[in-house]
Structure 1
Amino acid sequence: MFNSDPVLSLQQADIYQDTKLVLGDVSFDIRKGEFVYLIGRTGSGKSSLLKTLYADLWLQQGKGLVAGFALENLKPKDVPYLRRKIGIVFQDFQLFTDRNVEENLKFVLKATGWTDKGKMTNRISEVLMQVGLGTAHKRMPHQLSGGEQQRIVIARAMLNEPLILVADEPTGNLDPGVSDQIMGVFKQINNAGTAILMATHNYDLLHKFPGRTLRCQDGQVVELNG
């Protein structure tokens, strides 16, 4: 059973890109342990919706609650605290190419307030084991395949034990076999209790790994099944 309190809730939210309204009157909840796909054509508003959830875009109209933070009342100084509660996985890996895996992950921990070196080392080992790369600490990004880099990005997103993982086309740059492996990693994380909202163009994934599905279309977000 899912916890009745949503980790993410939008009520009559209007999603803007600059001054352009891209999605209107958006209302949906995601609860702990749910896995939800977000689909829609390019330009339909998926990325703008995700960016609003982690406060890269401001919620200008309506209500939004993400990991206990009210988006409509969010102040700039609160954004880092919100993002500690959300794991964000991008299509383009955004790893620092001049430092190894451990240093990439340590940078995030330091940036989010960790100071104890022993605890940082332990947490990095935990998340690397979680994504199946327990021996990758000293490898440089260029020494990793695309699938391995995406696993590191997922590990990075899990460092602060987020309530929800927000993934924007996480398999977009990967071939089908690797995409399936990455979905397996997401499913393991989800089964352990972390909610996941994943934007994707890859409808094969929806058939192989069925889940609740929201679609951005005609300026609205509609639920397809359920």
Structure 2
Amino acid sequence: MSVIELHDVYVSQDVNTVLQKVSFTLEKGEFAYLVGRTGSGKSSLLKTLYADLPVGAGAATVAGYALPKLSSSKVPFLRRKLGIIFQDFQLLFDRTVAENLLFVLKATGWSGKAKIQQRISEVLMRVGLAGSASKMPHQLSGGEQQRVVIARALLNEPLLLLADEPTGNLDPDVADSIMRLFVEINNSGTAVLMATHNYQIIRQYPKRVLKCENGQLIDSAVTPFQLKMEN
């Protein structure tokens, strides 16, 4: 089963087309990296996949939802099937870790206090933060904050994790521990598409690579290429 299926898709940011004729499939449980220079279209592609940007042209299906025909009322249902990990965390700093997770559960239709508390405990344990539920985000390190963000993305047991530079602001040891967590999540059956500049991680955890370059998306599964450092 495919969790992403794109055929000749045009990705646009504002009025500019940043990627054209994008075609690739990501299967259930697969892991792929998304690489390319700053401004090459990585974030725009991710935003298109979670319906934050419209599909300019072409056919696109994500988690069973056809994006070109998707009405705004259906977008929350698509996003319930996805775990989205933003570059800048987007945690609510005026509430505890547990309250951050509670906010998402309530927004996605969960009810029942015991059920909600159990789910919060489960995801915090999964990311190694079982004792941090009552802490405020500012009391956590950058790596711990990123783990809260991953816990938040896992709340609805997503088919697909979309991660935008999840190790971008972390030192190498912390980045490695976050990466091991992604691999573990992927091994349990969740597909992962991860935008990254961290080529050391790609070398350490080799997977399929999708590269945004000159308005095109190159797929290492179709056209093998050498990775070289880029800014």
Q: Distance in 1 between matches of 2:2 and 2:221?
A: 19
Secondary structure of the residue that 1:88 maps to in structure 2? strand
Q: Corresponding residue for 1:109? A: 105
TM-score calculated relative to the size of structure 2: 0.95
The one-letter code sitting in structure 2 at the alignment partner of 1:12 is D
Q: Distance in 2 between matches of 1:188 and 1:128?
A: 15
1:162-181 equivalences in 2 (<5 Å): 162-181=158-177
Q: Distance in 2 between matches of 1:60 and 1:53?
A: 12
Q: Corresponding residue for 1:92? A: 88
Q: Distance in 2 between matches of 1:118 and 1:61?
A: 45
The partner residue of 2:76 within 74, 80, 84 is: 80
1:37-56 equivalences in 2 (<5 Å): 37-56=33-52
Q: Corresponding residue for 2:229? A: none
1:12-31 equivalences in 2 (<5 Å): 12-31=8-27
Structural RMSD (CA): 0.7
Secondary structure of the residue that 2:122 maps to in structure 1? helix
Any unmatched runs of 5+ in structure 2?
Answer: 223-231
- Report whether the alignment pairs 1:193 with 2:181: no
The Cα shift of 1:225 comes to 4.2
Q: Corresponding residue for 2:2? A: 6
Q: Distance in 2 between matches of 1:11 and 1:33?
A: 20
What are the Cα deviations for residues 141-198 of structure 1, in whole angstroms up to 9, with x where unaligned?
A: 0110000000000000000000000000001110111000000110110000000000
- Report whether the alignment pairs 1:126 with 2:112: no
What are the Cα deviations for residues 183-219 of structure 1, in whole angstroms up to 9, with x where unaligned?
A: 0110110000000000001111100111000000010
- Report whether the alignment pairs 1:204 with 2:200: yes
Secondary structure of the residue that 1:72 maps to in structure 2? coil
The one-letter code sitting in structure 2 at the alignment partner of 1:148 is E
Q: Corresponding residue for 1:146? A: 142
Secondary structure of the residue that 2:146 maps to in structure 1? helix
Q: Distance in 2 between matches of 1:116 and 1:9?
A: 35
TM-score calculated relative to the size of structure 1: 0.97
Q: Which runs of 4+ in 1 moved over 3 A?
A: none
Any unmatched runs of 5+ in structure 1?
Answer: none
The one-letter code sitting in structure 2 at the alignment partner of 1:222 is I
